[in-house]
Structure 1
Amino acid sequence: MSGAVYALIVNACVAVLFAATFAVVRASYPQQRASGWFCATYAIGLFAPLSELGVRFTAMPIAFTASSYLALVLSMLCFTQGVARLSGQPPSRAAAAIAIMALFGRVLLDDGARNTIGYGFVYQFPYYSMLLLCTMMAIRAVREQRDPWWTALGIIFAITASHFMIKPFFAAAFGSGTTMRDYAASNYALFSQALGGLLTIASALAVLLMIVRAVLRSTRAESETDMLTCVANRRGFERRANALIAASRREGREMAAIMLDLDHFKQINDRFGHATGDAVLQAVGQVLIQTVPRDALVARLGGEEFVALLGCAGLREAGQVAEEIRMAVTRLGAGLPRVTVSGGIAKLRPRDTLVTLLDRADRQAYEAKQAGRDRIYPPFSSAT
Structure 2
Amino acid sequence: MSGAIYALIVNACVAMLFAATFAVLRASYPQHRAIGWFCATYAIGLLSPLSELAVRFAPTPAPFNAIGYVALVCSMLCFTHGVARLGGFAPPRAANAIAIAALVGRVTIDDSARNTIGYGFVYQFPFYTMLLLCTLMAIRVVRERRDPSWSALGVVFVITASYFAIKPFFAAAFGSGATMRDYAASNYALFSQALGGLLTIASALAVLLMVVRAVLRSTRAESETDMLTCVANRRGFERRAEGLIAAARRDGREMAAIMLDLDHFKQINDRFGHATGDAVLQAVGQVLIETAPHDALVARLGGEEFVALLTCADMWDATRVANDIRMAVTRLGPGLPRVTVSGGIAKLRPHDTLVTLLDRADRQAYEAKQDGRDRIYPAFSSAT
The letter of the residue matching 1:27 is: A
Structure 1, gaps ≥5 residues long: none
In 2, Cα distance between equivalents of 1:163 and 1:77: 18
Q: Quick one: distance in 2 between partners of 1:233 and 1:40?
A: 36
Instruction: Name the structure 1 match of 2:269.
Output: 269
Distance 1:271 1:184 in 2: 79
Match of 1:363 in 2: 363
Write the distance in 1 (CA, Å) between the matches of 2:339 and 2:71. 63
Tell me what 1:382 maps to.
Answer: 382
Match of 1:236 in 2: 236
Aligned to 2:250: 250
1:12 counterpart residue number: 12
Aligned to 2:134: 134
Measured after TM superposition, the shift of residue 40 of structure 1 is 1.0
Which whole-Å CA distance do the structure 1 matches of 2:367 and 2:261 have between them?
Answer: 12
Deviates further, 320-329 or 36-45: 320-329
Point out the more displaced range, 202-211 or 239-248.
202-211
Structure 1 position 58, deviation (Å): 2.4
**CA-CA distance at 1:55 after TM superposition:** 1.0
Instruction: Kindly state the Cα deviation for residue 92 of structure 1 after the two structures are TM-superposed.
Output: 2.2
Give the CA deviation at 1:25: 1.2
1:53 is aligned with what amino acid? L
Distance in 1 (CA, whole Å) between partners of 2:54 and 2:179 is: 14
Distance 2:315 2:90 in 1: 46
**Would you say 1:300 and 2:287 are equivalent positions?**
no
Aligned equivalent of 2:29: 29
Task: Report how far residue 36 of structure 1 moved.
Answer: 1.0
What is aligned with 2:145?
Answer: 145
Q: What residue is the counterpart of 2:325 in the other structure?
A: 325
Q: CA deviation at 1:142?
A: 2.1
Residue in structure 2 matched with residue 216 of structure 1 by the alignment: 216
Shift of 1:312: 1.3
Cα distance in 1 for residues equivalent to 2:161 and 2:343? 60
Specify the alignment match of 2:157 in structure 1: 157
> Is the partner of 2:309 in helix, strand or coil?
strand
Q: Distance in 1 between matches of 2:111 and 2:277?
A: 76
What is the one-letter code of the residue matched to 2:32? Q
Distance 1:288 1:42 in 2: 45
Matched, 1:172 2:176: no
CA distance in 1, matches of 2:272, 2:284: 17
Instruction: Using the TM superposition, give the Cα deviation of residue 319 of structure 1 relative to its aligned residue in structure 2, in angstroms.
Output: 1.4
Corresponding position of 2:38: 38
Alpha-carbon distance between aligned partners in 2 of 1:111 and 1:338, rounded to the nearest angstrom: 79
Deviation at 1:314, TM superposition (A): 2.0
What is aligned with 2:348?
Answer: 348
Cα deviation for residue 255 of structure 1 reads 0.9
Deviations 1:2-33 (A, max 9, x none): 11111100000000001111111111111111
Instruction: Write the distance in 1 (CA, Å) between the matches of 2:37 and 2:333.
Output: 44
| Partner Cα separation in structure 2 for residue 113 and residue 154 of structure 1 | 34
Q: Give CA-to-partner distance per residue, 1:75-126, whole Å, 9 cap, x none.
A: 1111111112222222222222222222222222222122211111111111
Q: Which 10-residue stretch deviates more, 41-50 or 88-97?
A: 88-97
Q: Distance in 2 between matches of 1:80 and 1:338?
A: 52
Aligned match of 1:196: 196
> Who is 1:281 aligned against?
281
User: Counterpart amino acid of 2:222?
Assistant: E
- Partners in 1 of 2:364 and 2:92 — Cα distance? 57
- The sequence identity of aligned pairs, in percent, is 84
Letter paired with 1:327: M
1:122 paired with 2:125, answer: no
Deviations 1:251-280 (A, max 9, x none): 111111111111111111111111111111
The 2-side partners of 1:229 and 1:135 are apart by: 38
Shift of 1:162: 0.7
Deviation, 1:338, is 1.4
Higher mean displacement: 270-279 or 324-333:
324-333
2:265 maps to a residue whose letter is F
| Partners of 1:111 and 1:361 in 2: CA distance | 80
Q: Could you give the per-residue CA deviations for residues 27-54 of structure 1, whole angstroms, max 9, x where no partner exists?
A: 1111111111111111111111111111
Partner residue of 1:181? 181
- Opposite residue 112 of structure 2, the aligned amino acid is G
Of the structure 1 ranges 242-251 and 63-72, higher mean CA displacement relative to structure 2 is found in 63-72
The one-letter amino acid of 1:23's match is A
Aligned residues: 384
Q: How far did 1:316 drift?
A: 2.1
Q: Distance in 2 between matches of 1:136 and 1:269?
A: 54
3-state SS of the aligned residue for 2:298?
Answer: strand
SS in 2 for 1:111: coil
Deviation for aligned residue 1:222: 0.7
Ranges in structure 2 where 5+ consecutive residues have no aligned partner = none
1:110 partner SS: coil
* Structure 1 partner of 2:102: 102
SS for the counterpart of 1:372 is coil
- The secondary structure found in structure 1 opposite 2:109 is helix
* Deviation, structure 1 residue 174: 0.8
Alignment-mate amino acid for residue 29 of structure 1: Y
